[in-house]
Copies of this chain bind each other. A is one copy, B any other.
Amino acid sequence: MSDPASGPVDALATMNQLLEQTIPRAHQMGVTFVELRPGYVRAEVPFEGNGNHFGVVYAGVIFTLAEVLGGALHYATFDVSTHYPLVRSLNIEFLAPGKGALSASATIAEAEIERIRAAAVNGKVPFELVAEVVGEDGTLVARTRGDYQIRPYGT
Copies in the complex: 2
* CB atoms of B53 and A64 under 8 A apart: no
A93 to B67, CA, bound (A): 13
Which residue in B59, B88, B91 is a CB contact (below 8 Å) of A87? B59
Which residue in B25, B53, B67 is a CB contact (below 8 Å) of A21? B53
The residues of B that contact A52 with a CB separation of less than 8 Å are 22-23
Query: Digit string of A23-51 for contact with B (CB within 8 Å is 1, else 0)?
Result: 11110110000000000000000000111
Q: List 28 A-B contacts (CB under 8 A).
A: A21-B53, A22-B53, A23-B53, A23-B58, A24-B49, A24-B51, A25-B29, A25-B49, A25-B50, A25-B58, A25-B60, A25-B61, A26-B58, A28-B28, A59-B63, A59-B64, A59-B90, A60-B61, A60-B64, A60-B67, A63-B64, A63-B67, A87-B94, A88-B93, A89-B92, A90-B91, A91-B91, A92-B92
